Amino acid sequence: GDQSGLVEGVVIESRTDHKRGRLSTVLVQRGTLRRGAVLVSGGCWARVRAMFDDAGLPVQRALPSSPVEVLGWRELPSAGQTVLEVHSERQAREVVGWRQSQESHRKAQDNQLAAQQKLEAHLAEYRAARQERLQKGLRFNVRSKGPRKKEATDQHSGPTLSIVVKGDVDGSVEAILDVLDTYHEPEVRLDVLHYGVGAVTESDISIAQMFNGVVYGFNVEVSAEVAALAHASNTPVRLLNVIYRLVDDVREEINQRMPVTDVEEVIGEANVLQEFIVTEKKHKIPVAGCRCVKGLLKKSEKYRLVREGETIHEGAMASMRHLKNEVDTIKKDVECGLMLADTEVRFEPGDTLICYRTVQREQTTNWDAGF
């Protein structure tokens, strides 16, 4: 089947799982179904929160002729219904609203043919717009018990923040997931392991513990038994009732997992006035006659030779002299002779020698959740 373009498929069956919620098994006939896609089927629509294969394990994508269980339906579609991918939730609401008005119109008029023709015309518009691929890509990475071969490219080797989200009502959970959806930074991956409506349970704690994760409860409670389990398993449970405070807490957890980054710190700069050649043990060695024009030059730090804006060489300093004395430091406005460890490097008047060191600095996330 054609793996490109918007997804088309058919509903094989629908069911409500008491743990996972509303699930429908969709057979993909065209396109590649990815997490985050928006689907319309009959008078129902879904934002694909997660997909599961026939073994119940999470998958990231489904190719043509693959049946997958789709989680994310607002209402469950009927078996046999066509499934079409659209570009946005707004478009999904428009199609569903249009279809529902058509359905009531059809019932009132008892004119199946006219409704069918209009529906076909409407669907033709979406097929025509199929070239506009859904740009968003993957949403959350729901963890499986290890990478399957075809998913190996989705693996992330850096730090991960794994979370479980529980809310008082569907709307709260949807709102939180939609906000978390705006996070797309590569340094730390955000994994939503599980989400649902209701109090925090022992099973929520167990899932979070497996991945060293954090449980977020929004307007919900935690029983004494569950709190004791969380404490014993060292699993943080954060109970909040303002969405931006929850987002701030997630941001802080991400910051704690951010890797340190190497930052260059310039210590000083010298202008090369001329090149001298000195003879040491029958070897002719170039020395740069310089003036320090910024900061300090330290013999122990790294050096970069820049000529007309381009880096010619980076490396260590072998010798630093002031008035024929070997020194470790040269201050601003002082002249000196500098010999690099690499004696093959030649100097020209007008070159710049930059003295720098590399330091490690903590990073913070740039995630803007819109608050």
Please write the tens of the pLDDT for every residue from 162-211: 999 999 988 888 889 889 988 988 889 998 888 889 999 998 998 899 88
Same domain, 197 and 270: no
Give mean pLDDT, residues 112-130.
54
Q: What is the rounded distance in angstroms from the CA atom of residue 98 to the CA atom of residue 96?
A: 5
Task: Indicate the residue among 206, 222, 257 that finishes a domain.
Answer: 257
| Mean pLDDT of the chain, nearest integer | 85
Q: 276, 290 in Cβ contact below 8 A?
A: no
Same domain, 220 and 282: no
The alpha carbon dihedral of 225, 229, 234, 235 has a sign of negative
Please give the structure tokens belonging to residue 202.
């022992």
- pLDDT for 105 equals 64
Q: What is the rounded distance in angstroms from the CA atom of residue 162 to the CA atom of residue 167?
A: 17
At 71, the amino acid letter reads L
Same domain, 182 and 290: no
Is 221 a domain residue? yes
Same domain, 237 and 270: no
Highest mean pLDDT: which range of 50-54, 129-133, 328-332: 328-332
- pLDDT for 215 equals 97
Is 139 a domain residue? no
Q: Quick check: 132 pLDDT over 50?
A: no
Same domain, 178 and 121: no
- pLDDT for 143 equals 36
Q: What is the pTM of this model?
A: 0.46
- pLDDT for 100 equals 79
Q: 24, 14 in Cβ contact below 8 A?
A: yes
The span from the first CA to the last CA of the chain, in angstroms, equals 43
Backbone angles phi and psi of 198, in degrees to 5: 125, 180
The alpha carbon dihedral of 206, 176, 174, 30 has a sign of negative
Give mean pLDDT, residues 55-72.
91
Q: Quick check: 127 pLDDT over 50?
A: no
Q: What is the rounded distance in angstroms from the CA atom of residue 242 to the CA atom of residue 240?
A: 6
Q: What is the rounded distance in angstroms from the CA atom of residue 148 to the CA atom of residue 158?
A: 19
Q: What is the rounded distance in angstroms from the CA atom of residue 158 to the CA atom of residue 227?
A: 30
Q: How many domains does the chain have?
A: 3
- The range of the structural domain enclosing residue 172 comes to 156-257
Same domain, 195 and 302: no
Among the listed residues 183, 131, 133, the one whose alpha carbon sits nearest the alpha carbon of residue 160 = 183
Among the listed residues 124, 119, 121, 91, the one whose alpha carbon sits nearest the alpha carbon of residue 103 = 119
- pLDDT for 111 equals 53
Same domain, 179 and 199: yes
Is 285 a domain residue? yes
Is 49 a domain residue? yes
* 262-313 confidence digits (pLDDT tens): 899 999 999 999 999 998 888 899 999 999 999 999 999 999 999 999 999 9
At 12, the amino acid letter reads I
- pLDDT for 272 equals 97
Same domain, 196 and 161: yes
Helices (H), 192-283: 202-210, 224-232, 243-257
Same domain, 117 and 12: yes
Is 327 a domain residue? yes
Instruction: Name the pLDDT band for 369 (thresholds 50, 70, 90).
Output: confident
Least confident piece of the model among 68-77, 125-134, 241-250:
125-134
Give mean pLDDT, residues 33-54.
92
Task: Indicate the residue among 226, 257, 288 that finishes a domain.
Answer: 257
Tell me which of 184 and 340 has the higher pLDDT.
340
Same domain, 293 and 238: no
Same domain, 178 and 215: yes
Same domain, 165 and 222: yes
- pLDDT for 118 equals 58
For the domain that residue 184 is a member of, what is the CATH number? Answer: 3.40.50.10050
Cα–Cα distances in angstroms (integers) from residue 60 to residues 41, 140, 367, in the given order: 21, 9, 23
For the domain that residue 280 is a member of, what is the CATH number? Answer: 2.40.30.10
Task: Indicate the residue among 198, 233, 257 that finishes a domain.
Answer: 257
